[in-house]
Structure 1
Amino acid sequence: MARIPVTARLSIDENELVESFARASGAGGQNIQKVETMVQLRFDARNSPSLPERVRDRALELAGHRATGAGEIVITAQEHRSQARNREEALQRLLELLRAAAAPPPPKRRPTRPTLGSKKRRLEGKAQRGATKKMRGKPATD
């Protein structure tokens, strides 16, 4: 029972991951027609004892369309021609997602008001542009 490190304090059990294989789509000739290189990695985030509740909820939120209604995160990898490289790719994507979920969310932006100087500069710039455009017209006949 090996554990896969996610962060310094967080790791998941290898038994919590379920891999299934299928034939990949796209070009590839005979290799694609007879070898099951596509990997579908499933991780039951909702029922995982390895994840704290905060990380679990955030992981499902960040997973978006890759999360099922039952709380599983499904990652599909089929970019490479070999099954082993696709397995590594799928695992790396899951670990990146879990690392992003473990990181604290950025603080909310505190709205600020423009300074008096920036307001004046903006209005002066607008007046300058208006004057430039006014000069483009036909000259007035006296």
Structure 2
Amino acid sequence: MDGDEILIDIPMKVRCLSADVGVREDLGKVAFMRGPVCYCMEEADNGKNLHLLRADTERLSEITAESSRELGHEMRILRVPGKRLEEGPKGAGLYHEYVPAVESDAVLTFVPYYAWSNRGEGEMSVWVRG
């Protein structure tokens, strides 16, 4: 009948991927997919300097896929437990004496790759340190 709707609910788990060791730029990094959809991080959600972020690969079971209509249509965004590397000592210069890295907890937000660059200019990355 007119107006009838069929709803199909197919569970899609989030997969954490790594590249072959021959891909130097992605060594030690991970990427995320949900079903056939590749995800990416954007500056709009995660702030500047995406290279300071890493996914906490010990907590992959805590990843959530949440519904969002921010871009005017329904899509799933991923919330991934992670860490943010704190910036080094202020005024220490480009090269300075070694200081152990300090990380703080962070929740990384990933959007579907097809949806990036719809909220202004900013950094984007598919691969994140793991």
TM-score by length of 1: 0.23
Larger Rg: 1
